[in-house]
Amino acid sequence: MKICVFGANGYLGASVYKQLKHVEADEVVGTYLQEPALSDGLVKLDVNQPESFSEFYKKENPDVVVWAVMSGPNEHKLTDQGLMHLITHLTPKTKLIYLSSDVVFSDGNGPYDESDSLSNLPEDHSFSNYTNGKVKAERLINNELTNYVILRAGPIYGENGIGRLDERTDQLSYHLRSGKPIEFRDDLVRTFVHIDDLTKVIEEMIYNDVTGVYHVGQDVSQSFYKFMKATAKQLGYDDLLVKKASEAERVDTEIPKDTSLVTDRIKQVINI
């Protein structure tokens, strides 16, 4: 089996690429964009460039595609160009595993299950490009393909397969090591997922026949404040340095309050 990981230089993609490289029976290819490539054997590719994308895809012709690219302020372009290029090349035999996010529930009235409606943010909102890009991508995939898995995740945390921490934990450690307080919001509720768990879910989805939309994450949801306070304690820091951040915000930067995910459905189809 041949597997292609797009975005294999990123926080999640690097873990998935490294994990798959251990399975010797399979051929794994991965792409990166910005130098330096953090793992051996990655191919430099801008997924938004149709000619080079087409050339790469026809040469590799994978059986499974893991789409772990992300470009917050340019997410719309990644959907309209990169993902569209991919969709024109996919055959019904090729399985797509698309990494989506809890941001598709931008109403923020969670918890949400897989059947709940997605919502866009107003175009002038600071996060509209990422949120609306993801919503559009999910709708495209759902309309155009049958052999796909969409995995929706909340904030991903932990050290990835090549030793990189998520930015939030990295920031927490940096502050607490030097005895400085750090603030997180207590009114924003999320379903956190450890990078190793998500990587294992992706690996299992590559090899099984499951298709559809699934939420991935812990059974319990927490605010950023409570989660980061617990993380501080777990890492051996003084958790009293973790404080509650102000909840005041402007309308165009307002963050959805509760985008927590109900994760019961995935437990029926995977072994983890």
Ligand X SMILES: NC(=O)c1ccc[n+]([C@@H]2O[C@H](COP(=O)([O-])OP(=O)(O)OC[C@H]3O[C@@H](n4cnc5c(N)ncnc54)[C@H](OP(=O)(O)O)[C@@H]3O)[C@@H](O)[C@H]2O)c1
Residue number of the CB closest to ligand X reads: 10
Q: Which is nearer to ligand X, 82 or 110 (CB)?
A: 82
Scan for tokens 């975005």, then name that residue. 7
Stretch that binds ligand X, among 6-14, 121-129, 177-185, 220-228 (CB under 6 A): 6-14
Radius of gyration of the chain, Cα coordinates, nearest whole angstrom: 19
Answer yes or no: are the C-beta atoms of 261 and 112 closer than 8 Å: yes
- List, in order, residues 6 or more apart from 60 with CB less than 8 Å away: 2, 4, 29
- By CB under 6 A, name the one of 24, 25, 34, 92 that touches ligand X: 34
- Amino acid occupying residue 211: T
Q: With H, G, I as helix, E, B as strand and everything else as coil, classify residue 145.
A: coil
Q: Taking CB under 6 A as the rule, does residue 99 contact ligand X? A: yes
Q: Taking CB under 6 A as the rule, does residue 231 contact ligand X? A: no
Q: Taking CB under 6 A as the rule, does residue 129 contact ligand X? A: no
- By CB under 6 A, name the one of 17, 32, 127, 225 that touches ligand X: 32
Per-position x/- string for 41-80, each x denoting binding to ligand X as judged by CB under 6 A, each - no binding: ----xxxx-------------------xxxx------x--
- By CB under 6 A, name the one of 3, 4, 5, 10 that touches ligand X: 10
Q: Taking CB under 6 A as the rule, does residue 224 contact ligand X? A: no
Q: Taking CB under 6 A as the rule, does residue 153 contact ligand X? A: yes
Q: Which is nearer to ligand X, 24 or 40 (CB)?
A: 40
* Cα–Cα distances in angstroms (integers) from residue 20 to residues 29, 63, 156, 224, 244, in the given order: 10, 14, 19, 31, 39
- List, in order, residues 6 or more apart from 53 with CB less than 8 Å away: 45, 46, 47, 82, 85, 86
* CA–CA dist 87, 196 (Å, integer): 28
Q: Which residues bind ligand X (CB under 6 A)?
A: 7, 9-13, 31-34, 45-48, 68-71, 78, 82, 99, 101, 153, 155-156
